[in-house]
Amino acid sequence: MAQTVIRVTLKGSLASQPLFCFTVRQLPIKQEADHVVRFKPFLFVMICCAWMLLGCGAPTGNEAHLESDPRAFSVETVTKRSIPRVYETPGTFVSDDRIQVASRLAAFIRSVDVREGQVVKRGDTLFRLDAADVEGAVRQAEAAAAQARSVFEDANADVGRFERLYETDSVAQTELRQVQLARDVARDKLRQAEAGVTTARSQRRYTTVTSPVSGVVIARHKQSGDLASPGQPIITLESQKAVLFDTYVAESVIRFINVGDLVELHVDALNDLAVTGEVLRIVPSGDVVTRRFQVKIAPGDEAGLLPGMFGRAAFRIGEDEALVLPNAAIALRGGLDGVFVVDTETRARFRMVRKGRQWQNRSEVIAGLQADETVILNPDASLRDGDRVIPKNDTHISDEAEDE
C-alpha cells in the first residue's frame, strides 16, 4: 500500500519550516472514497489553524510592512516659559462680626426668644431677664433722692432765716457760714441721690436685651430659668455681610505676602468656585508650635459664601521657568498619562510624562519631555505608537500660560 506525505507550508514568520504535515495512504477505491469524506473536515480545520498561526506571527524584515495612510494632526512645540509660583493653603470662611451677647445684670432669665439658625435684625429681642431686683433698686434710689431733697430744702430755708438775722446783727457771721455750709452739703447729697436714681433706672433697659447687629444666631448658651451672670455669653451672633477667609501660612513664605495682594480662593462647596480676594490683615506674630502666621482675606461680595465653609487660598509668591504642556496633548494609554511626540521621521511616538502644577488649560511637565519637542494635539484612540502623521498648525506655546 503506497503512502503519500503532504506538507502544508504558509508564507509567514515560519516560512522556512512547514507548519504541519500529514501522510495519506492509498487505499482501495471503496475505502478511499470513505476516507475522502472523513478527510475533508480534518483538512479544513488544519488550514484554518494555519491561517491563525500566520496572523499571530510578527512580520520579518523581508516581508512587506502594512500600515495605514498618514493622518493630519495639529501639533505644538513646547518651550520653557515663566509660570507663577503658587503657594496653596487651606482655610475657613469666618464672620468678621462675631458677637457674644451677655448680660450686664445678675438675674434669672425669664425667656430666650431666639433659636440657633434664626435670622435676626438689629433691635430684635434676644432674651429677657427678671426685673424685680432692678425695680427694687429704682424705688430705693428714688426714696433716697426724696429724702435728700427734703434735707436740702430745710437747709436752704435755714440759710434764708440766718441771712435776715445777720442783717440785724442778731447772729454772728460764723453761725451764718455754718448754715451755708450745711446747705451746700445737702445740695451735694441731693445731686448724688438723683444720680443714683438715673443709674437705677438705666438698668431697666438691660432686662430686655436686643440684637446689636443684623445676623444669624449660631449658639444659645443659656435657657429660660438659668442664672445670668455679668460677662457670661448667652447668645452668639454672626453677621453674614462681613465674611473673611481665615488661613495660616508658613513662616518661609510670609515675607512674600503683603496687605493688598490679590489671592485666588477656591470653594469646594460651591462646585470649586474661584473667587478673587484681597489680603486684608496679616497678624505679625506666629504660632510658637506650628510656626504659622494668620492671614485674613476679604473675598468681595460673592453670593453664597457662608461662615464655616472650607476653602483653599492660592498665593502667588514668585515665578519659575518650566515646560508647559497643553492639556489637549495628553493621551491616556494603559492607564498612564503621556503624549505623542513627532520624531524626525514624522512618526508618532508615545511617551509617558509626569505632570506638576495644573491650570485650566495647561499643565507643567516635570519629566518626560524636553524643550522644542513637537507634540500632537487631541490624539484620538486609534493613534498608535509608530503611526505616520502629517503635522499641521505648528505653533509655540503662547503667553496664555503666564496669564493663567
Helices 173-202, 132-167: axis angle to 10 degrees equals 160
Whole-angstrom Cα distance, residue 86 to residue 37? 81
Whole-angstrom Cα distance, residue 234 to residue 232? 7
Whole-angstrom Cα distance, residue 219 to residue 216? 9
What pLDDT, on a 0 to 100 scale, did the predictor assign at position 346?
Answer: 86
Segment 382-402, tens digit of pLDDT? 888 888 888 887 555 444 434
What pLDDT, on a 0 to 100 scale, did the predictor assign at position 16?
Answer: 43
What pLDDT, on a 0 to 100 scale, did the predictor assign at position 255?
Answer: 92
Is pLDDT of 81 > 90? Answer: no
Cβ neighbours, 10 Å, residue 7: 10
Is pLDDT of 162 > 80? Answer: yes
Segment 105-153, tens digit of pLDDT? 889 999 999 999 899 998 999 999 998 888 898 999 999 999 999 999 9
Place 77 in a pLDDT band, splitting at 50, 70 and 90.
confident
Place 44 in a pLDDT band, splitting at 50, 70 and 90.
low
Residue 399 sits at the vertex; the CA angle it makes with 394 and 404, to the nearest 5 degrees, is 120
What pLDDT, on a 0 to 100 scale, did the predictor assign at position 404?
Answer: 45
The DSSP letter of residue 103 is: B
Least confident of 190-194, 239-243, 305-309: 239-243
**Cβ(251)–Cβ(293) below 8 Å:** yes
**What values do phi and psi take at 38, rounded to 5?**
-75, -30
Bridge partners (DSSP) of residue 333 are 336
Bridge partners (DSSP) of residue 252 are none
The DSSP letter of residue 370 is: -
Segment 334-391, tens digit of pLDDT? 778 888 888 888 888 888 888 887 777 878 888 888 888 888 888 888 888 888 888 8
Segment 182-239, tens digit of pLDDT? 999 999 999 999 999 998 888 888 899 999 888 899 899 999 999 999 989 999 998 8
**Secondary structure of residue 188 in the 3-state scheme:** helix
Place 27 in a pLDDT band, splitting at 50, 70 and 90.
very low
Instruction: Write the DSSP assignment of 225-257 as a string of letters.
Output: TPEE-BT-EEEEEE-SSSEEEEEEEETTTGGG-
